[in-house]
Structure 1
Amino acid sequence: MGTKDVKFGTGQPRRRPKRFQVWIQFTAALTMALAVLIAPSPRPAAASGELDWWNVQFRPYDVRDIASNPVREALYASIGLYDADHPNSVVEIDPASGAILRSLPLQSNPNRLAISDDGTVLYVALDTANSIVAVDTATMTISSGFFTSTDIVGHPVRVVDMAVRPGHPDMLAAKLVRNSTAHTPSTITMFVAGRPLPPADIHPAISEEIEFLDGDTLIGLVPYSPSLYRIPVAEDGTIGREQRLNVDGLWGGQIQLSIVDGRIYSTAGQIVDPSTGERGASFPQSGPMVATSRADRLFRLVDIGGTRGNPNLTLVSYRSTDYSPVASRPLMSALTKSQQDQLRYMGAIRMVETSAGLAAIVSRGGNGGPPVSGLVLMGSGVSAVSSPPRYLTARVADSQIRIRWGGPRWPGASGVSGYEVRVIDNDGLDLTVTTEETTYLFTGLTNGIRHQFEIRAVGPAGTSDPLTGSAVPRFSPRTRPAGYRLLESDGQIHVFGSASYLGDPSASMGGRRAIGLASSPTFDGYRVLLSDGEVLSYGDAAPSFDVSDVELEPGEHWAAIAGDPPTGEYRLFTNRGRVLSFGLAFKISHGPISNLAGDIVAAVVTPSGRGAYMLGADGGVFTLGDAQFFGSVPEVLPGRTLDCPVVGLVPTPTGKGYWLVACDGGVFAFGDAPFVGSLPGIGVRPVKPVNGLVPSGSGYTMVAEDGGTFVFGDAPFFGSLGAEPPDTPVVAINPYLLP
């Protein structure tokens, strides 16, 4: 049975992010951490210059890229397809403990990351979707998205690096490369609030990595070439022609940049003056690097004395003035035997500084199997627990809840020896367990009853204050059709089959229109969405939330409501693609889509609650979270305009396909959805337009504005209003299902 992430606590307004350069201001002299992230905690260096290692952890996350947010004291990682718990997601990680605090499923292969210097916006490149999304770091939800597009012959464009302009969280520079051997030129495009400016005509060989030297200058290097490029950026974001500087001795393969106080560091050497290209000393070893300004230190993760395919990763510190080594220590010596086995055969490919130390991506090359990457963390020891755990989340399923949380903020985190977890319900359950992990699975719980949780960190000085939250185990899924409900635009509800009438808003519309209907998980309740965004609850549907303070754009209006199966909460959708999640529903919120070909007219949440489909009137399908894309009308009928707009979408029971229905009753099947009939296929022209579709067994039921219902496949017929049409149009149909 599928599970669903549920966030506790209230979300905050979100903004945009900017990527922290390959370095960040370190708050201590010599400490560090590694991994798909490696993160140490700052601590003053001993007089001998030795590196102190302590509180080491290894996390086998499948990480593609990392970005540090010192404002929120968090680390972000794009997680790949092969991760066991968070595939195709962006996660927020506690840089001290390595625990995942929040997760945002994205699908579409999230890869490169960039974060704004104010820490508000995290940009994520989605490789297989030709797009970039902006994630609000306050709420860990998508605030906007935009396409990187394709070239003139339709080849997809890949984002190989991004950098956010300092002081301008809405300005993103992206290095783009076409995914075609016949069309290899690369460009740097500046996006301003998601709008692309004309791409820069830059040297196609500029390395994958770009960084801002300051607010007006981008820096790029050319692999296997002694060339440094300065790229000017105008006030409006326009990118100018690059200036090439030849730097004697600057020669390398996968070059990384680190910029501190106007000085540029690379894996091949230090460039003292970017305006002249004057070069400083070289490193004695090669490997991912971080430059820090406060302690005048550089840190590298290098292979010293390893064998082919099995590197001996070693952390080395250098003086930033002359690159002379100060101290070193092998990474393996700081790990347990089982952690050493997991890390074996991995080499370091990227490193950043975090609020707790350092973080590095380590990856397995051609040797061995999964995991393909991992996370090692290190931090300073503090004896007392000074703050409670944070960021409680839950995954609910039938009779069980798995909760996860993050460790306390530093400096209290390293004193934690374990956690006390208490669960209480109103049916007499009161249980306390202890664990050394930051996750716990409770089983045998009563479905439909809210369970309260208290999590306390345990240390030498006692226990912390509790982190609290609650969740509800979900009911067993209902799949057997037993009836349906129809909603008129005047708010009246009509029931058929075993569906019960629980009330409607027809007596209190006040000039508003009803536009959507969503059932509770038990189908013994429902919610009605009105045109002004008010949601009214009936039966066992939980009370709704106020959206009167949500500011819609000109021309934007509420378009659809969809229930959340795992939690009983709901989501609202606008015609511009804005998504709002409420209550304990997993946060898959999304900002307006700027270049829609047609309005969003329908939306469906996936059974897990961790994704959603949005349907455009042109038949375009937009997927969020774990919703999978299997095709759309514009894709199969390119350049064609439909005679009748598409009005409804229904996923198959497997989640591996879906049906689309047009207003003339025409049906389009995608993925594993079988075509089982349509109105044009049987020669029927509806008296009024079809405007809804719901699943029913392995078939579907569609409804027209006059209340006529049409069934296909094994969908049972429970009646219709077609013989006695209502006074106002029927705007929605909802199934009534039994276990």
Structure 2
Amino acid sequence: MIRLPRWVRPSRSTPEDGLYFGVEQTHNGAVNSTGYYETGEFSGQLDLYLTPPYSLSVGTYTDTVIIHACYDESCRRPVQGSPATIQVTYEILALPPPTQLTLDKTMLAAAAGPGGDAQILSLLVTLDGPNAAETVVSTDFSRTAAESGINAVEVVRISDTQRRIDVHLADPDNLTPRQYSIGFNVSGCYGVACSRPAQNPASTYVLVNYRVHEFVEQTAQRVASGVSEMVWDPAAQKFYLSFGSSVGTYANQVAMLDPVLGRITSSTFSGSEPRTLAVSDDGAYLYVGLGGANQVRRFRLPGLTLDATLELGLSANNGSRFANNISVAPGESRTVAITFAENGLVIYDDTVARPQTVDTERYNGVLGTISSITWGRDASVLYAAKNSSFIVFDVKSSGVAMNRSYDNALSTGWIRYFDGLIYTGNGTVLEPDTGSQVGVFQPAGSSVQALAPDTTAGRVYTISRHRSDSGVDGRLITFDAETYVPLRTLQLSLDNSGAKRLLRWGPDGLAMLTNSGDVYLLPVAARRE
């Protein structure tokens, strides 16, 4: 900016209504703009703002500034000496260092199906250079939503050295289901006209992949009712179901269900009020926790022949113990961990309890009943969910002892260990060594009711309810296990009690147990898309 001396000194014969002043200029690069303001009753100042050097190239620039002073608004009566001309010569000897633009990612990906929400994908642009604050970041995106799947691309200024680029994806309900792949260039330059790029190369290419999946409503096949619990036996490729005393045909029985046939093929008396079930990983035994007796009964498979009875005894308050959770140790089909509805955790080998046990009501100040247990990589570590705490137990030949607890790590009572991670019933995934969250399988606007991982196939399946769903609708959503991105959504007609269990079976099957006791075989959804 150049400040000139006072250029007009009107005499005291100046008209009472004043003079009219005007400024015009050429635009050859030297002068960017002008400004005039009064400095006194009979004086004023004209400021010439030179073009910032970072928006020009090396060279000499010349502009002409013409100043008009007149007695009338149309300037038909100029004052003496008007117009006055100023020649401005501006020489750029060297350019300042360029501003470097760095993008935190150059590829964005998302997937959605009809009924899903419009998403926003973002990337961060970091500017490094002395003129970062003046750098204009822009994109050349200009496609329609129908062509690209994108409503708009917006550049948001975060600070002098950071900009955020928001890619507003179109609502999937307004798009044709297909793969949308579109790219745009991100560039930085100086000045509104972007007369000089801020970096070399001048732009960075960003690719956006947006998969809009076809949304198909499916009818799930109901194959059983009145079921208390359900487990899958991968060795026999069958489900085992437990039925309470109020269920007519199968009262107080455990039954085998063949999902291929879609019906129960055999059953046997289990004892009073069978509740909790667990199958050994070699398919040798089915463990049944009874609600009408303080026992866990072991049946030999596949014939459902009673093999052993584990007497659970009395609690510290001399009340009967009832099994709340049963989990068979990996690779040790005759060893189980059992938690009690009345608090407590015990390891059994056959019918003998290991001496070191945990009273979860008093142990280490941790209160409450354990809601779920799962073995880790082997039979030396056991994980538990209790209220919002994630607990790690050490298991030895002498019994079980708490190693550590992570408070406020959970918001659900169901957990399972798969391939080094802990999967929870509401879609979150934990790192068991630290108790920290590593991801979540939960699309926007939905709540997860049940989850089934299949890490071998690279998929995770959830039963979810979207806020727009009616009371009898649910959504079976298939996720990529590594990226947490939803790949496919099926809308299902279900009862309104919600999902209790979601289990994988066979090469590509899924089955669900609802809170009201209905068992559904779900549409095939496990194949890789």
Q: TM-score when scaled to structure 1?
A: 0.39
Choose from 444, 460, 471 the match for 1:298: 460
Please provide the CA RMSD for this pair: 2.7
Choose from 503, 507, 514 the match for 1:362: 514
Choose from 514, 519, 526 the match for 1:375: 519
Letter of the structure 2 residue corresponding to residue 374 of structure 1: D
Residue 176, structure 1, aligned to residue 176, structure 2: no
Q: CA deviation at 1:55?
A: 9.1
Q: What SS class does the counterpart of residue 292 from structure 2 fall into?
A: helix
Q: 1:83 to 1:59 in 2, by over 3 A?
A: farther
The separation in 2 between residues aligned to 1:103 and 1:144, in whole angstroms, is 18
1:422-501 equivalence runs, <5 A: none
The separation in 1 between residues aligned to 2:246 and 2:490, in whole angstroms, is 31
Do 1:108 and 1:128's aligned partners in 2 also have CA atoms closer than 8 Å? yes
Partner of 1:344: 495
The separation in 2 between residues aligned to 1:96 and 1:55, in whole angstroms, is 17
Do 1:146 and 1:194's aligned partners in 2 also have CA atoms closer than 8 Å? yes
Q: 1:73 to 1:268 in 2, by over 3 A?
A: closer
1:523-534 equivalence runs, <5 A: none
Partner of 1:65: 229
Q: What SS class does the counterpart of residue 344 from structure 2 fall into?
A: strand
Q: What SS class does the counterpart of residue 71 from structure 1 fall into?
A: coil
Do 2:219 and 2:492's aligned partners in 1 also have CA atoms closer than 8 Å? no
Q: What SS class does the counterpart of residue 350 from structure 1 fall into?
A: strand
- Aligned residue pairs: how many? 304
Q: 1:331 to 1:268 in 2, by over 3 A?
A: closer
Q: 1:152 to 1:231 in 2, by over 3 A?
A: closer
Partner of 2:345: 188
Q: CA deviation at 1:201?
A: 4.0
Choose from 86, 91, 113 the match for 2:250: 86
Q: What SS class does the counterpart of residue 233 from structure 1 fall into?
A: strand
Q: CA deviation at 1:138?
A: 2.5
**Deviations, residues 401-447 of structure 1 (Å, cap 9, x unaligned):** xxxxxxxxxxxxxxxxxxxxxxxxxxxxxxxxxxxxxxxxxxxxxxx
Q: 1:237 to 1:173 in 2, by over 3 A?
A: farther
Q: What SS class does the counterpart of residue 240 from structure 1 fall into?
A: strand
1:208-287 equivalence runs, <5 A: 208-215=371-378, 216-223=380-387, 225=388, 227-234=389-396, 236=397, 238-246=399-407, 250-252=409-411, 254-268=412-426, 270-284=428-442, 285-287=447-449
Do 1:280 and 1:322's aligned partners in 2 also have CA atoms closer than 8 Å? no
Q: CA deviation at 1:130?
A: 0.6
Q: CA deviation at 1:325?
A: 1.9
Q: CA deviation at 1:206?
A: 5.5
Q: 1:305 to 1:70 in 2, by over 3 A?
A: same
The separation in 1 between residues aligned to 2:268 and 2:468, in whole angstroms, is 37
Q: 1:237 to 1:113 in 2, by over 3 A?
A: farther
Do 2:254 and 2:267's aligned partners in 1 also have CA atoms closer than 8 Å? yes
Q: CA deviation at 1:280?
A: 1.5
1:131-146 equivalence runs, <5 A: 131-146=295-310
Residue 318, structure 1, aligned to residue 318, structure 2: no
Unaligned runs of 5+ in 2: 1-178, 180-210, 361-365
Q: What SS class does the counterpart of residue 294 from structure 1 fall into?
A: coil
Letter of the structure 1 residue corresponding to residue 498 of structure 2: G
Higher relative contact order (CA 8 A, sep 6+): 1
1:496-645 equivalence runs, <5 A: none
Do 2:385 and 2:410's aligned partners in 1 also have CA atoms closer than 8 Å? no
Partner of 2:263: 99
Choose from 316, 329, 349 the match for 1:165: 329
The separation in 2 between residues aligned to 1:320 and 1:256, in whole angstroms, is 19
Unaligned runs of 5+ in 1: 1-45, 179-185, 333-342, 365-372, 382-739
The separation in 2 between residues aligned to 1:330 and 1:54, in whole angstroms, is 6
The separation in 2 between residues aligned to 1:220 and 1:155, in whole angstroms, is 23
Letter of the structure 1 residue corresponding to residue 481 of structure 2: S
The separation in 2 between residues aligned to 1:270 and 1:345, in whole angstroms, is 23
Partner of 1:23: none
Letter of the structure 2 residue corresponding to residue 329 of structure 1: L
Q: Where is the strand percentage greater, Structure 1 or Structure 2?
A: 2
1:409-420 equivalence runs, <5 A: none
Partner of 2:110: none
Structure with max Cα Rg: 2
The separation in 2 between residues aligned to 1:269 and 1:60, in whole angstroms, is 26
Residue 329, structure 1, aligned to residue 487, structure 2: no
Q: CA deviation at 1:211?
A: 0.3
Partner of 2:75: none
The separation in 2 between residues aligned to 1:222 and 1:138, in whole angstroms, is 33
Q: 1:237 to 1:298 in 2, by over 3 A?
A: farther
Letter of the structure 2 residue corresponding to residue 376 of structure 1: Y
**Deviations, residues 33-52 of structure 1 (Å, cap 9, x unaligned):** xxxxxxxxxxxxx9976688
The separation in 2 between residues aligned to 1:278 and 1:347, in whole angstroms, is 28
Q: CA deviation at 1:270?
A: 3.9
Letter of the structure 1 residue corresponding to residue 405 of structure 2: R
The separation in 1 between residues aligned to 2:223 and 2:468, in whole angstroms, is 22
Do 1:269 and 1:280's aligned partners in 2 also have CA atoms closer than 8 Å? no
Partner of 2:358: 200
Q: 1:132 to 1:103 in 2, by over 3 A?
A: same
